Structure 1
Amino acid sequence: MEIKHNPQLTSTELATLWNTYMADSMGRCILTHFKQTVEDQYIAEIIDTALQIAKNHIDTITELFHEEKIPIPQGFGVNDLNNNAPRLFGDLFYLRYIEHMGRTGLTTYALAKAISSRKDIRELYKLWYNQTEKMFDMAIDLALENGTLVKPPYIDYPKEVQFVENDKFLGHFFGKKRSLLAIEITHLGTNIEVCNVGQTILLGFSQVANSNELRQFFYRGAKIGKKQISTFLGILKDNNTSYPSTWDSLITDSLESPFSDKLMLFQANLLSAIAMADYGTAIGGSVRKDIGVIYARLMAELANYAEDGAKYMIKERWLEKPPQTHDRYKLINRKD
């Protein structure tokens, strides 16, 4: 069936496109710094691929918003990037960052396609998913080749089909816990990696932010990440389960920030949002009651941290307002 016209964008399509523009305009700045300071030629090739994808997304959304007569978000640009700053992180972190954001992109674009209506928008997200998949595979393959990929824990294969015999399977808050399910181990391992990325980047930001208040804020975020890693590792250790190794990517002694405080704070809030989404997914996949409660507690801690970051952005007039419905009450009660 040939569709001869494109209706107005739905609220869902507008929201996902707007969010994509904001994230990729930030990503373009970060990847530009990575490209200027990377030493490993293979990682440099992946950075080039990621940078080209981000630029393509920005150009495509800009053109689409022009056609739809939608204001182009300010996002992030040359004023948020210090081209003369020395590197803040090592090459290994560059690779892990791209791997982490690639994993997030795959989830985001798959969902965006599933909830979009317009044919051109669905095709757009299909294309972006395929682009991100290629970049993600490049990062994973290189990490496998050089021996730096942090793999999820292994468990023995089941020997036979079994059925749950009683509600003790659901777990208890106190006393002896049942052994972890493979899916519960999966989420714990993944979220350790998520926290590792967040902890490293926030620790680096805490070193170079221009504002002392923000330096303390980023350091607080790094400590939250470290504490949550310990929580996840503790669950795996208590279960006598193998666990993914933690890593300490190189953070240089540079005191000159490659990025604006505004960009770094946006990245911090984005990392919190990604982690909370991952924790929400983990709650849905964790049958043991105590694990669900732990995730809920950690989500609340992240939500509080993200709220403080949003308040700072509002204070500095950095928080760009996403598309929203009209305030009918305000319109009705206007003063003519």
Structure 2
Amino acid sequence: MAGENMNGSSIPKLISSEMAMLWNTYIADTAAVCCIKHYIKTNEDPDVLPVLNYALTIAEDHIDEIASLFNTEEFPIPDGFNEQDLHIDAPKLFSDVTYLRFMHHLGRTGLNAYSLAKSVSARKDVRSMLKKYYEQTEKLFDMAAEAMQEKGIFIRSPYIEYPKKVKYVSDQRFLGGIAGKKRQLLAIEIAHLGTNIELSNIAKTMLLAFSQVAKEKMISNYFKKGYDMSLEHVEYFLNVLKNDDVAYPSTWDGSITDSTITPFSDKLMMFLIASITAVGVMDFGIAIGASIRKDLAIQYAKMMIKVGSFADDGAKMMIDNGWLETPPQSLDRDELRKK
């Protein structure tokens, strides 16, 4: 049913895009709460703690607010993740610096998600919620970025010389080819290579750590497969920059402890990897649109296919284990007619 606002006028029901964005946010924030609680419990760096505490505060705020809205709308609240997915007393798995990088990544993906969510929402109350979420996530992103810069661990995109004058393209070889000499990289192409190096490194760290602690052997092997794929991606992106004589700052390998005791359930770890894989596919797609050099676009497309296949294998494993919660979807009219 549609509700009423304080003036007694009717409030329209949630549209499909609003349902999807709020549902996804709720699930993701329940996962984030589990992770951040363990990060806080095991953190030893006082400079990192304020970032973690703020991230936990906003995630819990989102969960409460969305649950309240769903109750009002008589919309079933997703199960998401809870204390059963968190082993709070498990030893430290990642370094404090890695926690900071995870929060920076969380902020970046949140900014993209909430910007899109607001742009496809109609109801004023939902748009207001998403605006607040964007602003909170922007603050988290800035807090993490500033803390990383103060510690000297913020990895910047490469510097290139400023252009000397305005120029126009006069040769179709500017578009590049599959073989032969390639033209110099554009600044926007370098930017996307840098973004994908960072994302691949974050994925690589998570996958290697999770392969170390996963309870099920099949799931551990799946994480190791993803680690190998991420490593290939990082090496390709770095080689493209190296071949163009573009110096890229030292990449990072997030420190992983020797613990083999998992802080998270296999279900939660599979969700986290599915989430970062989805971000990777999206980033590759954006990079294709921004990369005029054909060899880059083709390579990104190949990576999308390979990552998509990896994600598909993961989704099947989650379904087989009963871990994949069904998102809101349209009615199956054929099934209804059979009843």
Q: Normalised by the size of structure 2, how large is the TM-score?
A: 0.97
Q: Secondary structure at the match of 1:76?
A: coil
Pair 1:80 & 2:85 matched: yes
- 1:262 equivalent in structure 2: 267
- 1:25 equivalent in structure 2: 30
Residue by residue, what CA displacement relative to the aligned partner does 1:165-199 show, whole Å, maximum 9, x if unpaired? 02211111110111110000000001000000000
Identity of aligned residues (%): 48
How far residue 114 of structure 1 moved from its aligned partner, in angstroms, is 1.0
Counterpart amino acid of 1:163? Answer: Y
How far residue 289 of structure 1 moved from its aligned partner, in angstroms, is 1.0
How far residue 83 of structure 1 moved from its aligned partner, in angstroms, is 1.2
Match of 2:253 among 237, 248, 254: 248
Pair 1:273 & 2:287 matched: no
Give me the whole-angstrom Cα distance separating, in 1, the residues matched to 2:267 and 2:114. Answer: 26
Match of 2:100 among 95, 118, 126: 95
Match of 2:210 among 199, 205, 213: 205
Counterpart amino acid of 1:102? Answer: G
Unaligned runs of 5+ in 1: none
Match of 2:326 among 321, 325, 336: 321
Unaligned runs of 5+ in 2: 1-5
Match of 2:166 among 161, 165, 174: 161
Residue by residue, what CA displacement relative to the aligned partner does 1:72-119 show, whole Å, maximum 9, x if unpaired? 000000000001101100001000000011100001111111111111
Alpha carbons 2:104, 2:144 under 8 Å: kept? yes
- 1:8 equivalent in structure 2: 13
Give me the whole-angstrom Cα distance separating, in 1, the residues matched to 2:253 and 2:109. Answer: 21
Match of 1:130 among 128, 131, 135: 135
Pair 1:56 & 2:51 matched: no
Residue by residue, what CA displacement relative to the aligned partner does 1:129-149 show, whole Å, maximum 9, x if unpaired? 100111110110011111000
Taking structure 1 as reference, are residues 244 and 301 closer, same or farther at Cα in structure 2, changes over 3 Å only? Answer: farther
How far residue 316 of structure 1 moved from its aligned partner, in angstroms, is 0.5
- 2:222 equivalent in structure 1: 217
Q: Secondary structure at the match of 1:112?
A: helix
Alpha carbons 1:189, 1:244 under 8 Å: kept? no
Alpha carbons 2:91, 2:263 under 8 Å: kept? yes
Aligned length: 333
Q: Secondary structure at the match of 1:240?
A: coil
- 2:314 equivalent in structure 1: 309
What do you get for the CA RMSD once the two structures are aligned? 1.1
Give the ranges of 4+ consecutive aligned residues of structure 1 lying more than 6 Å apart after TM superposition.
Answer: none
Give me the whole-angstrom Cα distance separating, in 2, the residues matched to 1:101 and 1:204. Answer: 18
Residue by residue, what CA displacement relative to the aligned partner does 1:224-253 show, whole Å, maximum 9, x if unpaired? 111100111111111111224211221001
Give me the whole-angstrom Cα distance separating, in 2, the residues matched to 1:84 and 1:33. Answer: 8
Match of 1:67 among 72, 75, 78: 72
- 1:109 equivalent in structure 2: 114
Match of 2:52 among 14, 38, 47: 47
Give me the whole-angstrom Cα distance separating, in 2, the residues matched to 1:42 and 1:146. Answer: 9
Q: Normalised by the size of structure 1, how large is the TM-score?
A: 0.97
